[in-house]
Structures are given as structure tokens and as C-alpha cells.
Amino acid sequence: MTSTICPYPGLRPFTEEEAIFFKGRDLHIRQIVKLLEANKMAFITGASGDGKSSMVYAGVVPYIRAGFSRAKFNSWLVCDFKPQRNPLTSLAESAAKEMQLDYNYTIRELQRGFSALVDLYTNSEFYDDDNTTAAANRGKNLLIIADQFEEVFTMTENFHDGTPSTESYTTINLLLETVRISIARQLPVYVIFTMRSDFISQCTVFKDLPEFIAYSQFFVPQLKRTEIRQVIEEPALLAGGRVSSRLTEVLINNLNSGFDQLPVLQHALNLLWKTADNGRSALDLLHLAKIAGISRESLTAEERKDFDKWYAKLPYYQKKYFEKPDLNNVLNAHAGTLYESAYDHFMRNANWAEKSISPEESKMIIEKAFKTLTKIDNNRQVRNRCTVNEITGIINRPNITNATVCGVLNIFRAQENTLLRPFMMDNSVESQYLPGDTVLDVTHEALIRNWEMLSQWDIEELDNLKEYNDFNSQVQRWIDNGRSPEFLLASGNYAFFNDWYERCRPNPYWILKHDTSQRPQREKLIAATNRMEKCDEYMKQSHEAIIADERARRHKTIGILIGMLVFVLGLAAFSWWALSEKSEADKQKTLAEENARAAKEAQDEAQKQADAALKAEKEANQQRDVAREERQKALEAKNESDSARRLAEIAQREADRMRDSAMHNAEFAYNQKLAADSARQVALKEMERAQRASDSAAKLYYVALCNTLAMKAKNSYEDKSLNLRLANTACQMNLRGGNDKISPDLYDAMLFALEQNELLGGRMLKDAPFKSFTIDADNRIVTIGDDGSILMHRILSNGEIQSAAYDNNNQVAHTPIERAVFITPTLVAYSTKDRNSYVLDTYANVHPHLPVHNDYIQAASLSPDQNKFVVAYTRGVVEMMYMKSLDKPHAVHNFDTKISDIYFHGDNEVYVLCHNGSLKKWNYDNDIVSDVLPPRNDKNSFKMAAIPDKNFLAVCNSDGYIQFVNLIDDTPAQTMAGAHSKLENILYDQRTGILASSSADMRIALINTNDFNEKPLVIEEHSIGNRKIKCMGFNDKGVLFVMTDDNKMYLLDTDPVIYARTLFALNLAPLSPTEWDLILGREFSEK
């Protein structure tokens, strides 16, 4: 056996390329193809991990491509997409790519729904209605695959609170209508959906979808034992390998039924193949034991010896995975081993990244990344796609950059592991170091369910989220109550949440991950940042309040201590006082005894007096009886007065009650008045808001009308003035819509209208072809001709151009000029055919000779202080010299590669753009060259333009994109689409902030660097006579001069308002009602 191709893809689905190894579903593939032939669609549903995508991509697609199904044409267009966060965009991208259409056109068409998709196909070159053999060979059948259709429901952008987004609705309308039309017109168009069956009930929210599902559903059956045997054995046989029968039986028996059956099996088979010397040995039980899928006791004695010898060499961390060997443990052991060895892999392979992390930090990065890449949704662990930037943001450590994150995670993306998407295709830096906006995704949810460590992390993450929600509600309560100190955290709660803060380290990206609202990502990030600031402030203020509270409590304790001290002192004083009182009492006692004796004597005397008193008492009794009678009379009088007082009190209480009731009523009335006032205020606000909405709607209507008119103005009419009037009316509508900016469409419409009426035509410069040109402050144009002549041109008031040869006593260009570059509008560096190079100052009239090289000048640049000059030759030599001594180079460096462009920056730095796309920085003082951008295998770079006021360098590439480089720290900034094809020229006008780039497809993009979010204006090819652009330049008014290869010069204003004014100045007649009806439709004219 010599096979080396692994026929088992592992955890990822089979690709179309690997279809030759996809076995076990032959019967089901035929059934789906029959369904397509009969019904034009197949709605494939099934459980997670049962291979729906593989069955389509590796089963159905290769089967029909091979011609085993009946269809109109021999070949197929396969237009596949996943809904992701924007289903219509995904569909449009795929359709545009497959049918070779412009994307903007495609999305615009598809947004109209219904027959739009069918129309695109039937109008394309791939559909031929003839029934001839030639047509059958020329045409292509169309298969549309909506894979992972459940994303329509799982992504909050597509489906929120039970309501689908407009995009989702339009996409489904398009697909269903495509099926309907294909059936009715017998078109060779077919649609396949794949969706997890647990989302089937949610399909009812879409009109007609349930009927279509019932019409053509295919529920993926569970594989039977015989089919699982095919899955295991046949791919190995196809690749020239073999699986032992006993291994097959063990695998079949150890496979759990239910979720993840196939992914777990495919993953194990992939590892088994590699363990069996890439299929050179028959796959057997020993190999299964080596991937922790079966115990060593299951092996023969001889195999056990082999296993033990191998096991002894394993690192300690790997051995723990052999404690519970099982088929479901294989994935756990594999992922766990990668986790442990990621640091070594990173240190060994990521030479392009800074290696300033510890092994513990490497593990922390993996933990945070996988926590971010998964989430718990309805108590189920599911994947959660996110970008490299988001992961780095959540990790939030200064020493951990995107490069570190990519470097550590690469082991999971490697070809031999493929647990994380996108997979690493090779070992190139581009493949390893992903751009920050690259979306990472767990290859299959089986990994989440089978990697024990990841399950544990998810539980921790869920706890973190619960604690955050609890904390956040407290923060919100605090905010709702005017940030009152009473709602700050108490010390116990503070300690709890502070501990959580330390553990979880929440940050805006982490909050963003858990934001399930339907807002755009950018808005979510802003909201998360605000929320984080509030959380931090809440923690800080709680902490300060607790410290203040503790300080107050300490003061109180001190007060109590002082009080106690005073009390003790008081007690001591009291004791002293009591003792002295006792001594005094003793003295008093003695005195009392003496007094008692004296009292006895007095008592006797008193008895005598008592007898006398008895007598007096009798007299008193008589007096008392008289008094009692008097008292009885007085009592009766008192009772009468009490009754009168009680009546008065009742009357008083009744009066009080009446007063309370009146007060209550008054208060109620007052509250009612307040409520009414408040309601009136709300109503007023609502009215204002409604008015604003109405105004906005009106403005939107005018802007929409403006766009429609602009589109119409771009059509060709017999009456060309109609273009002008349409464009003019579009401008007026734009103004009425309150839009002070002019959209790219309107700009293009204006240019088209003016061009159609020959108000924009190019001016012929001179018959002789020229290489390059420049414009100085006096609108003086200097051109370098192909014949070596240097000409001056002036635009006369009648529009003609007057040209004259530059005269410098015949000292210039006595030999034909081979190559010339403009350094400033008045300064030209050029090489003659005999390889001599000069600098010519067209004002100062001097032209010093540059040092002689056997080469031509490729590029040149002047230092900001205009004292130094740097020049690059085509073969890679770069020289720096002072302007005062141009014949003596001050510094020289040979870059040994083809140079495209050069830029002098700061005092001593020169940026050198190489043809292979790399950008280098040369410090000529110490002759150090550093890399700013790496070389690109897939594209070249031709020109660059400095944007000095914003510290950017714009590099234009052959793929149509402009790469911005930050000149402060030499890091790549954003990229922007400059045009549809290869970019050839780029220049920047600092006065207007406009960056102009031209491309091979004869279009010019004008990018406003003051606002990168603004959509670039595009000058279409018709505005420059449909000719190739040779060179461009700005004058000091921001007017773009464009030279085309037919020697014509076009003056184009970068400020679209100028064109709008030009149209107004023409005093054009308004559109007649008939024209409105004919061109725009009746509904517009009525309005």
C-alpha cells in the first residue's frame, strides 16, 4: 500500500474536490437528484452533523456535473451561498460571480424580488433557448444552493422577535419565485435548501415557504449499519488503503446514536489514517488505541508491547487523555493536545509575529478565543462567528495583538487539524497572519459538545454573563435614579462584583458579543463602549463610597470608645462619691438614733393632743356632710357641660372630615391637571416627531426621485437635451430632499448628460504622443512627448489650447527622452535614450546633470523642505542628493528589485514601493531598510500617493484596491476599493482632500480622504471618450486634468457642485407632464 491522500476530511465537510471519497449516501443522492428533476427544488432537512452540506457539495453537485441527471444543458453553473448576516448580499455575490455580472447591478436587480433572479439568468450568456446541440454545449443549467438556511433564523440581523428582516424576506421571495417560474417555463433552474430540522416550525413566518417545503422536502435519513460500514471502509479502498474488519465493528459499535455521530466518526477516521502512516498500513485497533479511542486491554499482547513503547514517549499532558479511552474521547484528546502544544507551535512557526507571551498567556488566548467563538443559546452550546479584531479586543492586553492571536490559534487552523475556519492553506505569512476583519468559526459544533475543556469554559462564560446581567441591572438602577449614592454597591456586593471583574475582565468587545439586538455592528460597539464606561464609573464610585463609609464608621467607633472611657471615668468618680456618702450616712444614723429617743418623748405629748383632736373631728364631720351636698350639685352641673362639649367635638370632627375630603379632592384635581399637562407635552412631542418623520419621508421621496432621475439621465435618448434636463431636475430634487451632498450616481448622470451634449469634450493637445504632463499654478501644462520634446500649453479663453516648445537654448532633450517624471509642477526629472539623466526646472531654466547610471529614472521625490532630492532607477538603485549638488549622491542603496515608486518623508526617510507589492523604508543616514508591507504573490503595486496632511500613504494595487499605510507607525491601515480592475495611476490633491485613482477599465475613482465613509465618486469611461487614461493631474483649483491615449485632455471638476451650477446656468426647460409619464411613470408625475 502506497496511498498518501487522506480520504477522510475530519471535522470539516467534504468539498466538491473530495467528492470522490464521499460514500454511504449513494441512494440518498439519487433520490435528491430525482426530486430536483421532478420538482425543480429540494428542501433538505436533518439533524445537526448528519452531513447535509457534504451530501449536496460532495454528492449531488458532482453527480449532476458528471451528466448522470437529465437536464437541458451539458454544463452547470452552481451558485451557492450561506445566508450569514446578510442573505440577499450573499446571494447577489454568488450570482454575480457565477453569471459574470457586475455586483452592483446584480444586487440592485435582486432587490426587486420575484422574477429578478430568473431574469438575470435567462438574459445571461449561459442561457440559450435553442434546442440545438451547439446550444446544449454553450448553455449552462443553473443550480442555486442555499446552504445552512437556518442562519435566516439564528442571526439576529435576519430574524428578531419573531419577525424576519426585509433582506431575508426578499431572498426567500426570490428563491421561491425562481422555483415557480422554472416549473412554469420548464427552465433548467434548480434550487436546493439545506436546513437543520429544528428550525422547520419557524419557516411558517414566511409566506408560501411551508407549501414549498411540503412539496419537495427531503429529510436526511440516519445511516444504517451497512451504510456506516461504507463510510468507514470504502474511502480507504478508493485511496488504495484498507480498514480491518475488527476496527470497523468496534467503530460501529462504539458510535453513539444521535448528534455528532458522523463528525465524530470522520474525525477519528482522519486521525486513524494519519496514525496508520497515512494509509500505508491497514487501519487497525492499534491505531485506534493510539488516538485514545480504545483501551490497551483490547489489543493483543504483541500490539500492547508496541503501544506501551509508544505511550512511554508521550508528553505528560497527553497521557491524561488515555485514562478514559473511547471513540467520543478522540476529539477531546485531539483538541486538548493542541491546546497544550499551541505555545510550542507558535514559537516554532510564527516567525512573523512578536513572541512576547508566556505559555500561560497562550492558553489564556485559546480559552478567550473559544469562549468568544461559542455561546449558549436556549441552553444549547452553539458556535458564534467573530473576527480576529473582536477576539483581540476581548482579550484586551497590551502585549497581545492580532498577530499573537493568529499565531497561537494557527495550530487549530492547520491543514492536519482543521478545527477552526478559515483553514490554513499553506505556510505563507498571508495564510498564517489573517487580516483583523477575518471571521473565525468553529468547524463543527461537535467540537463544542465533545471537547470537555470547552464545555467547561462555556459554563464559566454563561456564569459570567449571568453575573454581568445582574451587575448591569444594578448599574441601570443607579443611572435611572440620577446616579444617587444610595444605589451604589454595598461593600459585600462590591467585593463579589470586584472579584468577578478581575476574573472576567469585561470590556466593550465582550459586551458586544452578548448584545443580541438587531442594530448594526458599529452601533453595537459604540453602545458597548458607553456601557463599559458606565460600569467602570459605577465600580469606581461604589469603591469610593465604601471607603468613605468605612472612614465614617471608623470615626463612629472612635466616638464610642471615647464615650466608654468617659463612662468608666464617671463610674470611678461615682464610686468615690458613694463611699464618701456612706461615711456621711453613718454619721447621720447615729444622729437619727438620738433623734428617735427625742421623738418618743414627743409621742407621749402627741397622744394628749390626739384626744383633743377627736373632739375637733366630730365637729369637722358635720361640716363635711354640708360640703358633700354642695359637691353633688356641682357634679350635676359638670355633667351637663360635658355633654355640651362632646356635641361640640362631634361637630368639630365632622368639619375636619369635610375639610380633609375637600383637600383630597383638590389634590386629586391638581394631579389630574399635572397628568393632563404631561399628556399634552407628550402629544406635542409626538406631533413634532410626526412632523419630523413626515419631513424626512418627503426628503427621502425627493432623494429617491433624484436617484431615479439620475439613473434615467444615464440612458441614451434621441433628444440629447433630455439628458441635461433629467440631470438638472435630479439636482433640483436632490436640493429639495435637503441633501447638500451629491451622490456618485447623480455625479455620473451630470457628467454623462454634459458629455452627451458635448459640453465636456476633451481638447486635443497636440498630435505628437506624450509620456506625462503636469499643471502649475498658472494653469500652464507641461508635457514630455514620446519624441523627447518638452512642450508648454495654455488653455485660451475660447477653449483652444496653445502649445509651444520649451526653449532652453536647445540644451534640453538633444537626445530623445526615454522616461520622465514630474517631481513638482515645475520640476521634471528625465532620462534620455542614451541613459543620461537630468533635472529640469521649467521656471528657473536650469537643468543639471544627475550622476550617470546605465539605467533610466523610474521615480523621484523631493524632501518636504525642498532641499533634498531622491531618485529611483528601474533596476533598484535609489540615490539621495542635495539640490545644490545634484551631481554628487549623498547616499545610495541598491534594493535589487524592480521599483515602482518612491516618496521622500520627513528629514531622512524614503519610502520605496517595489513592483512585487512590498513597501520598504530607507533611512539613508544610517542606511537601514525596514519592511513596511510584505511582498504579495497575488498582486503587484504600481504607484503610490502621499497624503501628508493625514499622515497616510496610499498604494494602488493590481487587484483594484488601495492599501493605506499609516506614516506615524508604519502600520497598514484600511483598504478601499479604488476601481473594478487594475489600478494604474493615483494622485492626491491636498487643497480638496481628494484622492484620485484610475484603473485599466478606464474609470476614475475620487475618494474624499476627509471622510473615508463617504462613497467614492466614479467618473465612468464615457466621460473621457471611452479611452485609456495615460496620466492625470490636479491644478490649484482642484480641477482634475486627465490625458487619454488619443492625446486629448479632459478637465473634470472634483467638486460635483460645479456641474450642478453648470446645469442651472443653462436655463433648461422643465420636464413636460408627458415626459414625466413616459420616462418616470404616472405615479411620480401625480406627486
Partner 1 sequence: MYINLYNKKFSVFLADVTDEMSEVRQDLKYVLVKAGIDIIDGQGLLYDDANSKIDSADCSVHILGSTDISTPDTPGYDSAAGVQYRIAKSLCGPNFKMFLWNPHKSSGSIVPFINDIRRDIVENTVYCDKPSPIVFVEDLRTIMNVKQPASSQHESADIFFMYNELDDESASGIFNMLRDVQKVIKLPLSIASDLDYNTFIREQLAHSKIGVIYYNYAGDWAVPFARQVWKDTGGNSSNTPLLIAGNSEHASTDEQKVFKGIMACTVDEQLRIPLDIKVFLDKQN
Q: Which long-range contacts (CB under 8 A, 24 or more apart) does 242-250 make?
A: 242/1, 242/282, 242/283, 243/282, 243/283, 244/282, 244/283, 244/284, 244/285, 246/284, 246/285, 247/272, 247/283, 247/284, 247/285, 247/287, 247/288, 250/285, 250/288, 250/294, 250/298
Q: Which position among 211, 297, 486, 740 is part of the footprint of partner 1 (CB under 8 A)?
A: 297
Residue with Cβ nearer partner 1 (290 or 712): 290
Cβ 759 vs Cβ 1050: under 8 Å:
no
Residue with Cβ nearer partner 1 (236 or 829): 236
Q: Which position among 15, 37, 68, 867 is part of the footprint of partner 1 (CB under 8 A)?
A: 68
Q: Which position among 33, 47, 239, 828 is part of the footprint of partner 1 (CB under 8 A)?
A: 239
975 binds partner 1 (CB under 8 A): no
Q: Which of 23, 27, 29 is nearest to 7 (CA)?
A: 23
240 binds partner 1 (CB under 8 A): yes
DSSP category for residue 18? G
Determine the Cα–Cα distance for residues 498 and 539; give it in Å rounded to an integer. 8
Determine the Cα–Cα distance for residues 190 and 216; give it in Å rounded to an integer. 12
218 binds partner 1 (CB under 8 A): yes
Determine the Cα–Cα distance for residues 352 and 428; give it in Å rounded to an integer. 10
301 binds partner 1 (CB under 8 A): no
Query: What Å distances lie between residue 131 and 54, 136, 187, 892, CA to CA?
Result: 34, 7, 12, 70
For 278-297, give the secondary structure using H, E and C: CCCCCECHHHHHHCCCCCHH
Nearest distance in Å: CB 300, partner 1: 6
269 binds partner 1 (CB under 8 A): no
Cβ neighbours of residue 611 closer than 8 Å, sequence gap 6 or more: none
Nearest distance in Å: CB 271, partner 1: 20
- Among 20-28, 799-807, 820-828, 838-846, which window interacts with partner 1 (CB under 8 A)? 20-28
845 binds partner 1 (CB under 8 A): no
Prior bond to 422 cis, omega within 30?
yes
Determine the Cα–Cα distance for residues 907 and 616; give it in Å rounded to an integer. 134
- Among 120-128, 129-137, 600-608, 670-678, which window interacts with partner 1 (CB under 8 A)? 129-137
Residue with Cβ nearer partner 1 (7 or 83): 7
Q: Which position among 298, 541, 981, 1008 is part of the footprint of partner 1 (CB under 8 A)?
A: 298
Continuous segment of H or E residues that includes residue 77: strand 75-81
Q: Which position among 70, 587, 600, 631 is part of the footprint of partner 1 (CB under 8 A)?
A: 70
Residue with Cβ nearer partner 1 (75 or 897): 75
Cβ 908 vs Cβ 918: under 8 Å:
no
Nearest distance in Å: CB 46, partner 1: 13
Nearest distance in Å: CB 322, partner 1: 17
Q: Which position among 183, 200, 205, 238 is part of the footprint of partner 1 (CB under 8 A)?
A: 238
66 binds partner 1 (CB under 8 A): yes
156 binds partner 1 (CB under 8 A): no
137 binds partner 1 (CB under 8 A): yes
Q: Which of 367, 366, 362 is nearest to 459 (CA)?
A: 367
- Among 189-197, 221-229, 574-582, 787-795, which window interacts with partner 1 (CB under 8 A)? 221-229
Q: Which position among 19, 175, 840, 1004 is part of the footprint of partner 1 (CB under 8 A)?
A: 19
Residue with Cβ nearer partner 1 (133 or 632): 133
Query: What Å distances lie between residue 851 and 247, 835, 903, 962, CA to CA?
Result: 77, 11, 20, 34
How many residues make contact with partner 1 (CB under 8 A)?
44
Cβ 424 vs Cβ 407: under 8 Å:
no
Q: Which of 981, 1057, 1078 is nearest to 1021 (CA)?
A: 981
Residue window 276-295: x/- pattern of binding to partner 1, with contact defined by CB under 8 A: ---------x----------
Q: Which position among 3, 374, 384, 783 is part of the footprint of partner 1 (CB under 8 A)?
A: 3
Residue with Cβ nearer partner 1 (68 or 317): 68
Residue with Cβ nearer partner 1 (114 or 307): 307
Nearest distance in Å: CB 100, partner 1: 15
Nearest distance in Å: CB 194, partner 1: 16
Residue with Cβ nearer partner 1 (103 or 215): 215
Cβ 831 vs Cβ 857: under 8 Å:
yes
Rg of the chain taking only CA atoms, in angstroms:
45
20 binds partner 1 (CB under 8 A): yes
Cβ neighbourhood burial of 580 (10 Å; 0-12, 13-18, 19+): exposed
Q: Which position among 51, 62, 87, 293 is part of the footprint of partner 1 (CB under 8 A)?
A: 62
426 binds partner 1 (CB under 8 A): no
Q: Which position among 135, 183, 237, 1068 is part of the footprint of partner 1 (CB under 8 A)?
A: 237
17 binds partner 1 (CB under 8 A): yes
Cβ 725 vs Cβ 715: under 8 Å:
no
Q: Which of 779, 767, 766, 723 is nearest to 1063 (CA)?
A: 723
Determine the Cα–Cα distance for residues 851 and 305; give it in Å rounded to an integer. 77
Point out which residues bind partner 1 (CB under 8 A). Answer: 3, 5, 17, 19-23, 27, 31, 62-63, 65-68, 70-75, 133, 136-137, 218-219, 224-226, 237-240, 245-246, 249-250, 253, 285, 297-300
